[in-house]
Amino acid sequence: MNILLLGYGKMGQLIDELATAQGHHVVERIHVDNRELLETLDPKTVDVAIEFSQPEAAVENIKWCLQRQIPVAVGTTGWLDQKPEIDAYCSQHKGTYLFASNYSIGVNIFFRLNEYLAQLMASQAYEVSTKEIHHTSKKDAPSGTSITLAEGILKHLTQKKKWVNHSTNQPDELAIVSERIDPAPGTHEITYTSPVDTIEIKHTAHSREGFARGAIAVAEWLKDQKGIKTMNEFLESKF
């Protein structure tokens, strides 16, 4: 598989290392200082792109791929206010892309566990809150993973109307508390509390490797797909 890497920070470099070890070929490594290389890159040499750049660059990177019929797996968060625009752009250009707030297979299992627990709690007298911890270089807060978890809870707990990125005593608000502590690659906690007990579920990443391997696996699948795809579709094809 011929991969175009859009973004070459720690995640991009790890994906490069692991993909190359698996026998894939990285066609080009695009970052803030060499973006002009896209002007001469032949799209026919690329099977799929993996996008882990910065929020301010992600939208243009995705559009560049969609214009050229290059399927793109997007892991950058912090740009989702523009996702409806990108969805329309993908349909207009008959392109292919998949956005995931987290590519770790373990985290995506955790997403499902979170929704299942929220379903069970819909009729119970528990107060729910969430917390996430990431390294200090993470640009966005709350994390995209936390937002996905919060949306999964809001889907089933109708008394909660919105999430907020701070502690709250408002009964209609779901708290996401964000902490930035090095070298934490990512910890997410969901806590349900009642007067008689507390129930917690927690996912802790030990390194970025799970995210990188998941992104490569999705890219392998995505290169043969069309349209706007989701992690659930990928998981259903594998499990």
Phi-psi region of 132 (alpha: psi -120 to 50; beta: other; left: phi over 0): beta
Q: Is the dihedral of CA 179, 181, 185, 189 positive or negative?
A: negative
Residue that has been written with the tokens 């979170």 in this structure: 114
Q: What kind and span of H or E run contains 16?
A: helix 10-21
| Active-site entry in 63, 131, 134, 160 | 134
| Active-site entry in 10, 83, 93, 138 | 138
Q: Say whether 24 is catalytic.
A: no
Q: Say whether 138 is catalytic.
A: yes
Taking the C-alpha atoms of residue 230 and residue 208, their distance in angstroms, rounded to an integer, is 21
Taking the C-alpha atoms of residue 59 and residue 82, their distance in angstroms, rounded to an integer, is 8
Strands 187-193 and 173-180: unpaired
Which residues form the catalytic set?
134, 138
